[in-house]
Amino acid sequence: MKEIRQILEAGQRYLKQGKSMVLATVVHIEGSSYREPGARMLISEDGEITGAVSGGCLEGDILRKALMVMQNQKPLLLTYDTSDEENDIITVNLGCNGIIRVLLEPIQTEDPLHALQLLEKCLQQRQASVLVTFFSTEGRKSVLQGTKLLFNPRGTFSAQSSLPIDFEMLEADIQQVWKQGKSAFIYLPAIDTNEAAFQAFLEYLPPVPRIVIAGAGNDAQPLVAFGKILGWEMMLIDGRSAYASENRFPDCRLVVGKPKEVIRHIDIDEQTAFVLMSHNYDYDKATLLALLGSAVKYIGLLGPVKKRERMLQELESEGVFLGEGDLNKLFAPTGLNIGAEGPEEIALSVISEIRAVFSGKSGASLRNLTGHIHKRESRFKPSAQSYGIVMLAAGESKRLGVPKQTLPYKNTTLIRHAIHEALGLHTAATVVVIAAEDEALKNHLIDLNVEIAENAAYKEGMASSIRVGIQYFSKHYPHVGHILFMLCDQPYVDTAHLSRLLETQRNSGAHIVASLYEGRRGVPALFHSSIFDELLELKGDTGAKHLIEKHSHEVQTVPFPLAAIDVDTQQERERLR
């Protein structure tokens, strides 16, 4: 974040001076490297650099390539294989062993939402954002590459220049990154085999950590200074205006008042930490009380163990009991055990502990670690657009007597409900296989964003519909590599479960992902294209159950007991009501 801020400041300067600039972004790393994906560097037309993308070994070459890009005004993807010792670009072997991809993009200042503007929007508010940068390892000179999409609660912002894919097609993947709070690498389906395949770096940008210090004493100054170096948002609260003054703490948000009132005006979220160091027992205690039950991630209390014990006892006697959640957030005494003496050392110890807690790390020595320092995901996952859904709705409802597809359910019908859940996945297409000449059902679905495939052989049974579904995709969406088969009469199957099936597939790479209920594996189930030929050979009223058994060893399952409930008989229909 600090780096982004510095880059934006430099960018403003260059804009005023009318200087062109190029933004370098690390979009992917395989193996280990000094910097992480998302590291950025801004280069001006006269060779000035702000930020860094490596420990220094690549900067010289990247600078030259950036100046070349500045002249050509076209983006360029660079690939550095630092795993090779013979590479003479890296004159000093820094011990990094990886393949680093850096995207260079000229900043198009005529575009109101060019890359720097999108970065600016990320910093504007205290909520996470997902920033999308497109690149193509096959087409490293493609002009469609660049930082082009931003998604956050304020909305979706898109550069005016062309994107290799519409936002709607990426929406499901962006939502996934947003929910999981982890960046991801997606490869977009190659819709046109003549065009180069694209990849996208979906970067999760958390809001800047905000540290609120209760107590604007002298010993708060080094703490504020450390925070500023890190680019964190520092805030001070104190009951005394003489202490919490702009004079003593320039460039810092200050609020004067009693804890309960002051805290009401502060937005507390999971990226907020409080440090209670007012040296006033009552002020600290009141602040702690006001923070209980909030979303705050860290509450540090300066003082010995005795102070904590006394405070907790007193609160208990006042009827306030700290739950496990709050106790886990309370770090009293505050700071890591580094033998800190004096305000500067204490500040170092507190800041380090806060960073460890925010990262979910222990704060212990790296040398005792086995394995990687950073557990970085570097695998590319297929975009949601590589998946398709086939809904089997050609059943004759023999046992029920009336067509189950159009049974009323939750203010709509069973099938419309199922379709609604399916569409929530934003896959390439949702294809509903209906019995040929079932005009009634066709009309029933006419306003929905689905495609209808008619099954002339519906009397044969489910296998015929499966065949029709696969053939439809092969013909109209040949790039779809996975098909999810679902029924329309499992009323509890929802977007969440379908989404879990997809995520399991993307994380495991399994060729079959099935739902697990009542000890059996069945639909909804997701199949990789390598299984399509076998599915095409199914006959009669068999579903894919025995194929799932056949491939047992490579099937992943997602338990979902509610999938057992379907509407085959009058009994079940009644139960549904």
Partner 1 sequence: MKKQAIYLDYNATTPCDPGVVEAMIPYFSRHYGNPSSADHWYGWMAKDAIDEARTEISDLIGAKPEEIIFTSGATESVNLALKGLADFNQHQKKHIITCATEHKAVLDTCAFLEESGYTITRLSTDTDGNISLSEMEANIREDTLCIALMYANNETGVLHPLHSIAAICRKYDVLFFCDATQAVGKLPLDVKNAGIDLMAFSSHKMYGPKGTGALYINSEARSAGILPQIHGGKHEKGMRSGTLNVPAIVGFGEAARICKPLMAVERERLKNLRDTMERDFLSNIPGSRVNGGENRMEHVSNLTFPGIHAEKLLLSVSGDLALSRGSACAGLLQKPSHVLKAMGLSDADALSTLRISLGRFTQEADVFKAIELLKRAILSKQHVVSGMI
Question: Interface residues with partner 1 (CB under 8 A)?
Answer: 64-65, 67-68, 71, 81, 84, 86-88
What are the two backbone dihedrals, phi and then psi, of residue 104, each rounded to the nearest 5 degrees? -105, 125
Which is closer to partner 1, CB of 91 or CB of 552? 91
Nearer to partner 1, 142 or 499 (CB): 142
Around Cβ 171, how many Cβ atoms within 10 Å?
Answer: 15
* CB 71 to partner 1: min, Å: 5
Q: Which is nearer to partner 1, 65 or 417 (CB)?
A: 65
Q: Which is nearer to partner 1, 65 or 506 (CB)?
A: 65
Pairing state between β 412-413 and 184-187: unpaired
Between residues 90 and 291, which has the closer beta carbon with respect to partner 1? 90
User: What DSSP string runs through 411-467?
Assistant: TEEHHHHHHHHHHTT--S-EEEEEETT-HHHHHHTTTSS-EEEEETTGGG-HHHHHH
- The least distance separating partner 1 from the CB of residue 531, rounded to whole angstroms, comes to 27
Toward partner 1, which CB reaches closer, 68 or 536? 68
Closest separation in Å from C-beta 41 to partner 1: 17
CB 5 within 8 A of CB 71: no
CA distance 463 to 453: 14
**Rounded CA separation 543/350 (Å):** 60
Closest by alpha carbon to 80, among 58, 100, 104?
Answer: 100
Beta strands per DSSP E along 249-326 = 253-256, 272-276, 298-301
β-pairing verdict for 184-187 and 98-106 = unpaired
Separation of alpha carbons 440 and 432, rounded Å:
14
> Between 61 and 554, whose beta carbon lies closer to partner 1?
61
Between 84 and 537, CB nearer to partner 1? 84
Reported for 152-156, long-range contacts at CB under 8 A and 24+ positions apart, including other chains, are 152/121, 152/122, 152/125, 152/127, 152/128, 153/125, 153/127, 154/121, 154/124, 154/125, 154/127
- Work out how close the CB of 70 gets to partner 1 at its nearest, in angstroms, rounded to a whole number: 9
Min. distance of Cβ 87 from partner 1 in angstroms?
Answer: 6
Q: How far is the CB of 99 from partner 1 (least distance, A)?
A: 11
Q: Minimum Å distance from CB 92 to partner 1?
A: 16
Query: Is 317 buried (19+), middle (13-18) or exposed (0-12) by CB count in 10 A?
Result: exposed
Q: Identify the CA nearest to 465 among candidates 441, 443, 448.
A: 441
Minimum distance, C-beta of residue 83 to partner 1, in the bound complex (Å): 10
As measured in angstroms, the least distance from the Cβ of 64 to partner 1 is 6
Q: Closer to partner 1 at the Cβ: 67 or 123?
A: 67
Q: Do 223 and 350 form a contact (C-beta atoms < 8 A)?
A: yes
Residue 371 gets which letter from DSSP? Answer: S
Phi-psi region of 401 (alpha: psi -120 to 50; beta: other; left: phi over 0): left
Q: 154 vs 129, 166, 201, CA distance in Å?
A: 9, 19, 21
What minimum distance in Å lies between the beta carbon of 193 and partner 1? 11
Measured from the CB atom, is 76 or 487 closer to partner 1? 76
